[in-house]
Amino acid sequence: MTYPPNNDPYGNQQPPQQPPPYGQQPPQYGQQPPPQYGAPQYGTPPPQQPYGGYGAQAANYAGWGSRVGAYLVDYVITAPLGILGSVLGQSNGKLNALYYIFLLLNLGLVVYNRYIQQGKTGQTWGKKALGIRLVSEETGQPIGGLMCFVRDIAHILDALPCLIGYLWPLWDAKKQTFADKLLKTVVIK
């Protein structure tokens, strides 16, 4: 199963029903309406969307630019703590307590933003600002904090071949990095 899942209530919205023409009785509750000519029979699976096009399904995947933008926003949010730590955390060329306090604060912020919040909602602050979300390709739901952490470790694969994995969403049908492919995750709009 791929994103969006078939049971996604937002993905299968039907257009509003036209009222029956005057003189025709609407079908009673519990009655099966007669099948329309050409309409798929009950139980027939819906036709598959073309894989990897720019059309319906592919349009939901977040672009490379949005993903980079979200990363930069997250970086900018945590950068002040790092700067404060390196400026105030040194005295006479030695690291003082403030350095470790800011380091811990920075770590806490990263853990909250990247793992706790993104694990629950699919969005870091950066992703929220850019209107994108990290979800499981199979369920369409956020992947949880632990898997977010594993995904960050898997980003090593993206970095290894001269960062090619990070560029992969530029041409990939589902706009996934290597880490996304490994963990079956997608970033969507």
Partner 1 sequence: MSDLRTFSTPERVGSFGLLVAGAAVIWPALSDQTGASVPCPLRTLTGVPCPACGLTTAAIALVRGDAGAAFTANPLIFGLAALTVSALPLLALRATGVMKLPRPWSPAGRRKAEWFFGLLAVASWLFQLHRLGVSWPW
Residue of 51, 83, 96, 120 that binds partner 1 (CB under 8 A)? 51
Specify the residue, 114 or 174, whose C-beta has the smaller distance to partner 1: 174
How far apart CA 127 and CA 95 sit, in angstroms, is: 34
Residue of 1, 39, 79, 159 that binds partner 1 (CB under 8 A)? 159
Nearest to 120 by CA among 139, 110, 134: 134
SS3 at position 116: helix
Interface with partner 1, residue 50, by CB under 8 A: yes
Q: Side chain identity at 130, as an amino acid letter?
A: L
The distance of closest approach from Cβ of residue 92 to partner 1 in the complex, given in angstroms and rounded to an integer, is 25
Phi and psi at 121, nearest 5°, equal: -110, -15
How far apart CA 175 and CA 161 sit, in angstroms, is: 18
Specify the residue, 3 or 102, whose C-beta has the smaller distance to partner 1: 3
Q: How far is CA 137 from the centre of its chain?
A: 9
The distance of closest approach from Cβ of residue 130 to partner 1 in the complex, given in angstroms and rounded to an integer, is 11
Q: Which of residues 160-189 bind partner 1 (CB under 8 A)?
A: 160-164, 167, 170-171, 173
Specify the residue, 95 or 156, whose C-beta has the smaller distance to partner 1: 156
Residues binding partner 1: number (CB under 8 A): 23
Q: Side chain identity at 124, as an amino acid letter?
A: T
Interface with partner 1, residue 66, by CB under 8 A: yes
| Alpha helices by DSSP H, 54-171 | 64-88, 97-110, 118-121, 125-130, 145-159, 164-167
- Contact residues toward partner 1 (CB under 8 A) are 50-55, 58-59, 61, 63-66, 159-164, 167, 170-171, 173
